[in-house]
Amino acid sequence: MKINWGTAIVIAFVCFISFIMYFVITMSTDTKYEHDLVIEDYYGQELQFQADIDHEENANHLKTNVSLKKTNDGVIITFPEDLDIQNITGTVFLYRPSNKQLDFETTISLSNHNLLIPDKRLLDGRWNIKVDWKYNTNSYLFKKEITY
């Protein structure tokens, strides 16, 4: 049996529409393709944005800013040596863009000028590190993206 050109066009359209529908349904229902918002409280974070800019500017005016160093034990966050560690408070937030279940926050408690984020808490891949800290009455913010 021969298929004329009109029938061939209809078959091609049906195959193409079936192909597109397969991908639409797969992307809509498969959990491995789920993507979340970057942050849950987007509007609340926007209100905090100007304060974050001011805190980053305060950190840029320090003689030495916070620094990061990757080691075999994990990531070492080093605070300025000229500051008294007893007066440093705050939090370190590690954000994993690919999986929000891996995000975690830890408080800053220093025995010397270094804070270690252990290797067992960090999986290989990209991390956004946000160190939000205070020294006396001044607030500072340090942000860095690393690949661990």
Q: Are 140 and 58 in contact (CB under 8 A)?
A: yes
What are the beta bridge partners of residue 78? 67, 114
Amino acid 22: pLDDT: 94
Amino acid 36: pLDDT: 61
The number of domains in the chain is: 2
Structural domain that includes position 25:
1-34
Rounded to whole angstroms, how far apart are CA atoms 108 and 116? 10
The ranges of the chain with pLDDT < 50 are none
- Claim to verify: residue 67 and residue 6 sit in the same structural domain: no
- Claim to verify: residue 104 and residue 64 sit in the same structural domain: yes
Rounded to whole angstroms, how far apart are CA atoms 131 and 26? 39
